[in-house]
C-alpha cells in the first residue's frame, strides 16, 4: 500500500517521511531503527512496516496537517471512515468487514487530499 502512495502522492509522502523521521530521531540515535542515519534509508525502513505499526504516526501526522480521519462501526457491524478538513467532508465510506480494510481505504485518500494542497 505505501509504495503506491509514495508514487501517487510524492510530495505528501516526503512530508510524512520527514515528519516521522524528526519525531523518531531520539529512537534512531538509541539504535532502535537499525542505525539508520539517512532519510532515504529510513524511508525504506518505513516502507517495510505494516499499516498497524504506523497507524499512530499516520493519525498524528494527518491531524497536524488538518486532515481528520474518523473510523466508525455502524449498527450493521460494518466498519467505515470519515475524512474531513476544516472546510469540508471529503469522504464517508462504510461497508468494510474489518477495521483494517477501512484504514486501507482511508489512508491513501488522506494522502491524496494532502498532495492536492501542497
Q: What CATH number corresponds to the domain at position 68?
A: 3.30.160
Region 60-88: what's the mean pLDDT?
88
Q: Tell me the whole-structure pTM to 2 decimals.
A: 0.79
Residue written as grid cell 491531524: 63
3-state secondary structure of 30: coil
3-state secondary structure of 82: strand
Banded model confidence at residue 115, pLDDT cuts 50, 70, 90 = very high
46 near 17, Cβ under 8 Å?
yes
Banded model confidence at residue 25, pLDDT cuts 50, 70, 90 = low
83 near 68, Cβ under 8 Å?
yes
Tell me which residue range forms the domain holding 97: 2-117
pLDDT tens-digit readout, 55-70:
888 989 999 999 999 8
Structural domain count, the chain:
1
Amino acid at each position: 500500500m505505501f509504495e503506491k502512495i509514495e508514487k501517487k502522492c510524492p510530495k505528501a509522502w516526503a512530508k510524512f517521511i520527514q515528519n516521522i523521521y524528526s519525531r523518531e530521531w531520539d529512537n534512531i540515535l538509541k539504535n532502535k531503527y537499525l542505525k539508520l542515519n539517512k532519510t532515504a534509508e529510513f524511508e525504506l525502513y518505513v516502507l517495510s512496516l505494516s499499516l498497524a505499526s504506523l497507524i499512530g504516526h499516520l493519525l498524528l501526522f494527518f491531524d497536524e496537517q488538518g486532515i481528520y480521519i474518523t473510523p466508525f462501526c455502524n449498527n450493521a457491524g460494518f466498519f467505515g471512515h470519515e475524512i474531513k478538513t476544516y472546510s469540508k467532508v471529503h469522504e464517508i465510506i462504510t461497508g468494510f468487514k474489518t477495521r483494517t480494510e477501512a484504514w486501507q481505504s482511508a489512508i491513501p485518500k488522506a494522502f491524496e487530499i494532502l498532495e492536492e494542497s501542497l
